Chain A
Amino acid sequence: MSHPAQENAINAGRLTRILIYTVLIFFVIYYLLPLWVMVSNSLKTLDEIRGGDMLAPPADITFEPWRQAWSQTQIGVEATGLKPYFLNSIIMVVPAVLLSTLLGALNGYVMTKWEFPGVNLIFGAMLLACFIPFQIVLIPMARILGMLGLAGTLGGLIMVHTVYGLGFTTLFFRNYYAAFPTELVRAAQIDGAGFFQVFRRILLPSSGPIIVVTIIWQFTNVWNDFLFGASFSGYSSTPITVALNNLVNSSTGVKEYNVHFAGAILAALPTLVVYIVSGRYFVRGLMAGAVKG
């Protein structure tokens, strides 16, 4: 009786409930439909796809398109499947994500706990990096990669993604550390901890949520990037996004839709896994600071 709002919620009525569920179920179907189309068609034979009904479940499940996409189909001039490109992407993404996260954390630490004159100007400049369109940096970046001798290599791609991601990672960590009590840093200083000891022993152990947010963000962006990959990769350093494009857009022969679907799912799988594994930390990280401990 003393909680009228709660009473209302309980008495909302059966009709409203049904309505809510109907709408929700509709949206679930709406959002899952593309995934369903991709998965079901990747398991069909080419003949069945040509037969028409795109939404129908596979009559005769076959994993051949997946095998094709992974290791046999023609990409560019060689019939290697997506496998080597998938590995290229992994080799590129892991160091790029770790490096940009670590550097972003260090930047955030310095900008909040070791403030120096002009710190806001530098932070502003780094923020600008978040808003610069990819296309603008292409030509200067190509020059720099050339001068460093990194053009067309995975090392070059790692550098490009690290540099480009730094704006975001710095922003994340700076804002997270701005709310981190400075008294803790001071206490550690009095205890004799140096610059890196404070960072490693005091700040990093408390940075779990923001590290997860940064890693998800960076992983998704770097993995899904097409433009840098298409512009700066060489013959042996092509990432999977570019390879997928080469597969789907090749103009010779028959369009093997089932293989294309399987390839597209393969290319999207790692980001999906990262979200499923650490999604709850992502939400927790975004909410960090909302509830004070």
Chain B
Amino acid sequence: MASLTTKNLTKSFGTVEVLKGIDLEIDDGGFLVLVGPSGCGKSTLLNCIAGLEKTTSGEIRIGERNVEGLHPSQRDIAMVFQSYALYPNMTVRGNISFGMEIRGIDKAEQERAIAEVAEILQIGDLLDRKPMQLSGGQRQRVAMGRALVRHPQVFLFDEPLSNLDAKLRVDMRTEIKRLHHRLGTTIVYVTHDQIEALTLASKIAVLEAGYLQQAGTPDEVYNDPANMFVADFMGSPSMNLIESTLVEAGTGLAIVISGHGGSEITLPAPDTPEMRKHVGGPVVFGIRPEAMTDPDGADRTSPRIETRDCFIEVSQPAGSDTFALTPLGGKECIARFRADARIELGAFAPVSFNMTKAVFFDPITTDRIR
């Protein structure tokens, strides 16, 4: 087990720069999730850590060791691929033991190691089958088994669940989390699914266009996003990003948001030096759907609940909640009402804003205003 650090890591394919100076750190035993939309460079970053792609510049350390120039097999890592990459011509047993065979580990030890992972992953009865004869979930287990027998310093997972159906994905997610608790090995995990990121990670790194947008605990990334990209990307439904105008109101600051048909609502804003710089100008007001509720559903522990009348256009019952759509700042915003809240469409209704959860962004730089 070991920590993992990247320092100012860059990677170019020809003239295209895919990674633009990534600084990351994950502690020994941590679970780092790299998340971002397609093409953000997260898989490239993983391949660089694995040694499957050569980095252009920068440094990668596994434990205390600089792994620059080391062959993938010498980095003490194990990788689970999106397609599982099981050797089609070998049985499950052969797949799991292939690496040990190459490293010249004796037969008895191989058998012991196979039995051990087969027990952990409950694939004992599949050992003599070929990958073709396995279901998606079983292949996934075998792929993890192949990684487990190595007892590596770091596990690398490249979108391991994206080929599974929705239900199986949830099951395997739990399984991976359990496995991590049991083994305590450092994991780097790539996904484009932000729910997977939030549920699994001890640390999330959000990538976009080759830049690291934010790295932090799931709570930090979710509740304290560094910029509008992170705010929008994490969470489902995503955060409402509402255009508003910052004005002075009495002793403090307030934002003014245009609503339905020329109406306006005003909400208090935190009075900080940073915010003061934007007085009279536009700011983006970010608030998650669950912080915009019907008054009865508002978080009673929050000291700052502001209730305003908003025009409800559409409601979308979703079983456990009902999502209400209201136009604010020229956009449809989603509020999360209780499932049994009575919603009258096409009319104004009181909406409670939990202002402790509100965040503000600079619309030009898209960065957070603190």
Binding site for B on A (CB under 8 A): 181, 183-184, 186-193, 197, 201-202, 205-206, 293
Instruction: Say how far B116's CB is from chain A's closest CB, in angstroms.
Output: 18
Tell whether B183 is near chain A: CB-to-CB under 8 Å: no
Give chain A residues whose Cβ lies under 8 Å from the Cβ of B77. 190
Give chain B residues whose Cβ lies under 8 Å from the Cβ of A201. 87, 98
Pick the contact of A190: B73, B82, B87 (CB < 8 A).
B73
Question: When the two chains form their complex, are residues B102 and A184 in contact, meaning their CB atoms are under 8 A apart?
Answer: no
Give chain B residues whose Cβ lies under 8 Å from the Cβ of A193. 73, 98, 102
Question: When the two chains form their complex, are residues B102 and A187 in contact, meaning their CB atoms are under 8 A apart?
Answer: no
Question: When the two chains form their complex, are residues B50 and A190 in contact, meaning their CB atoms are under 8 A apart?
Answer: yes
Contact with A along B31-56 (1 / 0, CB 8 A): 00000000000000000001010000
Give chain A residues whose Cβ lies under 8 Å from the Cβ of B342. none
Question: When the two chains form their complex, are residues B78 and A190 in contact, meaning their CB atoms are under 8 A apart?
Answer: yes
| Bound: A130/B146 CA distance, A | 42
Tell whether B99 is near chain A: CB-to-CB under 8 Å: yes
A-B pairs, 3 with minimum CB distance: A191-B99, A192-B73, A205-B89
Question: When the two chains form their complex, are residues B132 and A206 in contact, meaning their CB atoms are under 8 A apart?
Answer: no
Contact with A along B55-85 (1 / 0, CB 8 A): 0000000000000000111000111011101
Instruction: Say how far B159's CB is from chain A's closest CB, in angstroms.
Output: 11
Question: When the two chains form their complex, are residues A188 and B82 in contact, meaning their CB atoms are under 8 A apart?
Answer: no
Tell whether B300 is near chain A: CB-to-CB under 8 Å: no
Known pairs A184-B88, A191-B98, A201-B87. 12 more at Cβ < 8 A? Answer: A186-B72, A187-B81, A188-B87, A189-B71, A189-B72, A189-B73, A191-B99, A192-B102, A193-B73, A201-B98, A206-B89, A293-B132
Question: When the two chains form their complex, are residues B87 and A186 in contact, meaning their CB atoms are under 8 A apart?
Answer: no
**Can you name 9 A-B pairs with beta carbons within 8 Å?**
A183-B85, A186-B50, A186-B85, A189-B72, A189-B73, A190-B99, A191-B73, A192-B103, A205-B89
Instruction: Say how far B329's CB is from chain A's closest CB, in angstroms.
Output: 45
Give chain B residues whose Cβ lies under 8 Å from the Cβ of A202. 87, 89
Instruction: Say how far B109's CB is from chain A's closest CB, in angstroms.
Output: 16
Most B CB within 10 A of own CB, among A186, A190, A202: A190
Q: Which residue of B lies closest to A185 (CB)?
A: B85
Q: Which residue of B lies closest to A293 (CB)?
A: B132
Instruction: Say how far A198's CB is from chain B's closest CB, in angstroms.
Output: 10
Question: When the two chains form their complex, are residues B88 and A293 in contact, meaning their CB atoms are under 8 A apart?
Answer: yes
Instruction: Say how far B136's CB is from chain A's closest CB, in angstroms.
Output: 14
Question: When the two chains form their complex, are residues B103 and A184 in contact, meaning their CB atoms are under 8 A apart?
Answer: no
Give chain A residues whose Cβ lies under 8 Å from the Cβ of B71. 189
Most A CB within 10 A of own CB, among B71, B72, B85, B103: B85
Pick the contact of A184: B52, B73, B85, B132 (CB < 8 A).
B85
Instruction: Say how far B362's CB is from chain A's closest CB, in angstroms.
Output: 42
Q: Which residue of B lies closest to A192 (CB)?
A: B73
Given A189-B71, A189-B73, A192-B102, A184 contacting B87 (CB threshold 8 A): yes
Instruction: Say how far A206's CB is from chain B's closest CB, in angstroms.
Output: 6
Give chain A residues whose Cβ lies under 8 Å from the Cβ of B87. 184, 187-188, 201-202
Give chain B residues whose Cβ lies under 8 Å from the Cβ of A190. 50, 52, 72-73, 77-79, 99
| Bound: A289/B83 CA distance, A | 17
Pick the contact of B83: A183, A188, A192, A205 (CB < 8 A).
A183
| Bound: A189/B102 CA distance, A | 10
| Bound: A206/B88 CA distance, A | 8
Instruction: Say how far A292's CB is from chain B's closest CB, in angstroms.
Output: 12
Question: When the two chains form their complex, are residues B81 and A186 in contact, meaning their CB atoms are under 8 A apart?
Answer: yes
| Bound: A47/B72 CA distance, A | 77
Instruction: Say how far B130's CB is from chain A's closest CB, in angstroms.
Output: 11
| Bound: A191/B104 CA distance, A | 12
Q: Which residue of B lies closest to A193 (CB)?
A: B102
| Bound: A193/B52 CA distance, A | 13
Q: Which residue of A lies closest to B53 (CB)?
A: A186
Give chain A residues whose Cβ lies under 8 Å from the Cβ of B78. 190
Question: When the two chains form their complex, are residues B98 and A189 in contact, meaning their CB atoms are under 8 A apart?
Answer: no
| Bound: A43/B229 CA distance, A | 86
Most B CB within 10 A of own CB, among A184, A192, A205, A293: A192
Instruction: Say how far B45's CB is from chain A's closest CB, in angstroms.
Output: 15
Give chain A residues whose Cβ lies under 8 Å from the Cβ of B98. 188, 191, 193, 201
Give chain A residues whose Cβ lies under 8 Å from the Cβ of B103. 192
Question: When the two chains form their complex, are residues B83 and A181 in contact, meaning their CB atoms are under 8 A apart?
Answer: yes
| Bound: A202/B88 CA distance, A | 8
| Bound: A79/B78 CA distance, A | 69
Q: Which residue of B lies closest to A183 (CB)?
A: B85
Given A192-B99, A206-B89, A187 contacting B79 (CB threshold 8 A): yes
Give chain B residues whose Cβ lies under 8 Å from the Cβ of A197. 102
Give chain B residues whose Cβ lies under 8 Å from the Cβ of A186. 50, 52, 72, 79, 81, 85
Instruction: Say how far A179's CB is from chain B's closest CB, in angstroms.
Output: 13
Q: Which residue of A lies closest to B97 (CB)?
A: A191
Instruction: Say how far B242's CB is from chain A's closest CB, in angstroms.
Output: 43
Q: Which residue of B lies closest to A187 (CB)?
A: B85
| Bound: A293/B84 CA distance, A | 14
